[in-house]
Each structure stands twice: as C-alpha cells, then as structure tokens.
Structure 1
Amino acid sequence: MATLILVRHGRSTANTAGVLAGWTPGVALDERGAAQAAALPGRLDGVPLAAAVTSPLQRCLETLRPLLDARPGLPLHTDERIGECHYGDWSGRKLAELADESLMEAVQHHPSSVSFPGGESMRAMQARAVDAVREWDARVEAENGRDAVWLLCSHGDIIKSLVADALGMHLDLFQRIHVDPCSVTAIRYTRLRPSLLRLGDTGDFGALIPHEAPGGAAAEVGGGAGAP
C-alpha cells in the first residue's frame, strides 16, 4: 500500500498571464511560484520519500528543484505520460478568448467528449496518466515495500483526472475538483480500492476567502493561478 503524494507545479508565468500553456516550451515559475517551490521541502519535512516522478515540463522541474537540493539522494524520474494535456491549437492562447470557443462548453460539462483541435482527447489524457501512476506505484512498492511514500509532480488537469479515477468518478465530473498551484494531494492505492487522503492542500486558507474568479463558475482549464 504505497502512498502517492501529488504536487501540482508552482504558479507559472502562464498562470499569471491567463494563458493556456500546454506543452509550450519556456514556461517558468513566476516569483510566487518560486516561493511556493522553496517552501515545499519544509512542508514535506519528516515525510520519507522513496522516489520522485515528474512531468518533463520546465515548471514542474523548477518546482521540484528545492526539494531535490534538500534531499540529494532522492531518485528522480521523468515520465511524459504525466505531462500536461496536449491542448493542440489552444496552446499559448489566452483563456479569456478561449471562453468564447464553442468547444469550451463541452470542456466544462462533457469533457469525456472533448478532443482538442490538433491535440489529444481528455479521455486519452486521463488514460495515460492513470496508467503511468499505477505502474509507478506498483514499481515503488515492489522496490521499497508497502509503506513506501513517493511523489509525483504534474499539472492541474492531470491531477484532477487522477483524483476522479481514484474516487470512481466519471471524467465528466472532474471539473468539480480544484487543485491550486503547489498544492499537495495524496492517494493510497490498495488491491481493492484507492483512498484519497488529501486534496489540494496548500496549508493556506486564503483561497477560501470569497473573490471573483475569472470566468465566473467555469472551471479554469489547465488548473488556474490559484487565489489572488
């Protein structure tokens, strides 16, 4: 029964610019995201980590750098299967303009039907991520024992889809899940069922203060920038 700690990357320059980054190269953490990453080793202090697996994208690698510096012996692996959704022609565009696209209604309410133009389907995104996590979880447990804890650094939509799978939720409901930048989510997989131990934990309750969210009630594609 290994335990998986899912970390969403820290706030990025694309998050603050309101841009859907996808796999666009050169998207780094902004100043706040770098501070979030710097705080991660302290937040996980005392938690034994057998391994870390990350998306190959820059914002995830930058998020893990302080943790790796604090734990020089921690094995690090990259896996493209937990990389961001391939948004295709939507990549690099402003979320404000994408809100007017007819496809956005399906993204919000029927994501299992969505294939991004020039990109991948949301079903394919979830399937590759779930396959990767279950394979890594079995590998970590086989190599380190049933009490092993391991960490995976990925992206908002990927983590939301993994949580939906763990809860037995249809992908069409995954927009009801929210994970802020550098939040921690924990799942323990067992032979019979997964258990969700934490969801989107930042240790900061400022996100609960009412504020006007971009797009109103719409879920932010890509995960959003978090509370102001």
Structure 2
Amino acid sequence: MASRLLYLVRHGEQDRAEEGGDTGLSARGRRQAELLAARLRGAPFVAVHHGPARRAVETAELVAAALPGVPVHCAESVGDHLPHDTDPAGLPPAYAEFLAGFDERERADGPRRTAEAVARFATAPAEGDVRELVITHNFLIAWLVRHALEAPERRWLGLNHHNCGLTVLRYRDGVPPTLIAHNDVAHLPPDLRATGLPADYLL
C-alpha cells in the first residue's frame, strides 16, 4: 500500500533582537536546527519544502546540509499564514482578540494557501512510499494535525509546537491519517525547548 510519511518541523527560534519583520534565526535557533539536522542526517527524504520567511529558509538550509542530494523547494503554501478564518464566537477572549488581529486579505489568502498545502501533502501518493520534510510554522502544523484527526476546525487554536520539534503524519488510501509523532523534541536539551509559552508550562 502506497504511503506518505510527512515530517513537519517548526522553524528554529526567531531572532527577536533584529529589526524588521522578516528576521532570521537567533543563536539558539541555529543550534536547534543543527541538532535537528543531526537527528535527520541521511534520512531518505525525496524532498525538503520550506516557506519563504527567513527563519524557515535558514532552518531548511541547516537541515538540508545533512541531507546531501535531497532537493529543496520554497513554497508560499507552507509559509506563515492564517490557516482558517475561524469564527471567534464562543472562543476564549484571548483567542478572539488574537483572531481580530488579522486583516481581510490575510483572512482570504491564508486559508487559500493552507488548502493548497493540504491538497499537496495531506494525501497518499499514487504509488510507492514517500518521505517528505516540510519546514514551516506553528499554525500550519496545528492545522495539519487537526485535519488528520478530523477535529473541529477551531481546534487548530491552542496547538503550540516547539521550535525544531518534529511531528510525523502518515497518509494511506482507504484508512484515516495516522499521527505517528507529535512535537517530538528528543534531539533538543531542555534549555533549547521553546514554544512561546511561559517556561514553567514546560516542566
């Protein structure tokens, strides 16, 4: 039975000290990516995909260095975008306030790009066993996990992933998707594990 193993990675930690919106990796982020690369070294991926943001590009470059010969592709569909124009009614106030920060264009473009990513990656291949690595952002990983589990659409909210954490989904025809690993950070020491949540949440 043909299957797709989809490895999803959130980019390394962003450098907040840089000025401007599209910043690259911090020193911690580079170290996270290097440790991920060491874990994935030589894995039989057919391709590496990443979004266009600098933090995703730099993470992909560091990981791809451990995967010689594997083609690397940049795609808007796996970039940093709102995955779903979620109705805030009935959501906790913090979620509703967060969603209100997206403008009309983002509410249209984000779900369209997410649908492209789902159509491209969240399916079984025509034949054979395919392994692909997607270096992307928290929102898309959350959406793909929610999609695989057939959870309500609003449940992409609240799924937070570690920088350079590893999530693996398997797709085969005739059976539901399988969540093989979620937010796996075995390759990262505790001081390099970060989700954006307060540190004491991670104990």
Which residue in the other structure is 1:10 paired with? 12
CA contact (8 A) 1:129 1:162 kept: no
CA contact (8 A) 2:167 2:184 kept: yes
User: Residue 141 of structure 1: CA displacement?
Assistant: 3.3
- Counterpart mapping for 1:139-154 below 5 A: 141-142=125-126, 145-154=127-136
CA distance in 1, matches of 2:185, 2:121: 24
- Which of the numbers 169, 174, 183 marks the counterpart of 1:200? 183
Which sections of structure 1, spanning at least 5 residues, go unmatched? Answer: 88-101, 218-226
Structure 2 counterpart of 1:131 = 116
2: CA distance, partners of 1:184 / 1:50: 17
Amino acid at match of 1:7: V
Amino acid at match of 2:166: V
Question: Which of these residues, 145, 162, 169, is aligned with residue 163 of structure 1?
Answer: 145
Aligned length: 187
Q: 1:39-67 deviations in whole A, cap 9, x for unaligned?
A: 12211135311111110111111101122
- Provide, for residues 50-102 of structure 1, a one-character-per-residue CA deviation record: whole Å limited to 9, x for no partner: 11111011111110112222223111111101110269xxxxxxxxxxxxxx9
C-alpha distance in 2 between matches for 1:132 and 1:86: 13
Which residue of structure 1 lines up, in the alignment, with residue 34 of structure 2? 38
User: Structure 1 pair 181/206, CA: closer, same or farther in 2 (3 Å)?
Assistant: same
The CA deviation string for residues 162-193 of structure 1, in whole angstroms up to 9 with x for no partner, is 11111101221222422110111011112232
Q: Which runs of 5+ in 2 are unaligned?
A: 84-91
Q: State which of 51, 54, 57 in structure 1 corresponds to 2:50.
A: 54
Matches of 2:73 and 2:161 in 1, distance apart? 23
State the identity %: 27
Segment drifting more, 32-41 vs 188-197? 188-197
Superposed CA RMSD:
3.5
Matched with 2:64 is 68
* TM-score using structure 1 length: 0.68
The residue correspondences of 1:207-218 to structure 2 (distance < 5 A) are 213-214=197-198
- Say whether the 8 Å CA contact 1:10–1:37 is kept in structure 2: yes
Aligned equivalent of 1:106: 96
> What does 1:72-83 correspond to in 2, within 5 Å?
72-83=68-79
Flag the structure with higher helix content. 1
Residue identity opposite 2:180 in structure 1: L
Amino acid at match of 1:40: L
1:183–1:202 CA contact under 8 A, matched in 2: yes
SS of the equivalent of 2:106 reads coil
1:29 alignment partner, SS class: coil
In structure 2, the CA distance between the partners of 1:124 and 1:33, relative to structure 1 (3 Å rule), is: same
How far apart, in 2, do the equivalents of 1:126 and 1:146 lie?
Answer: 30
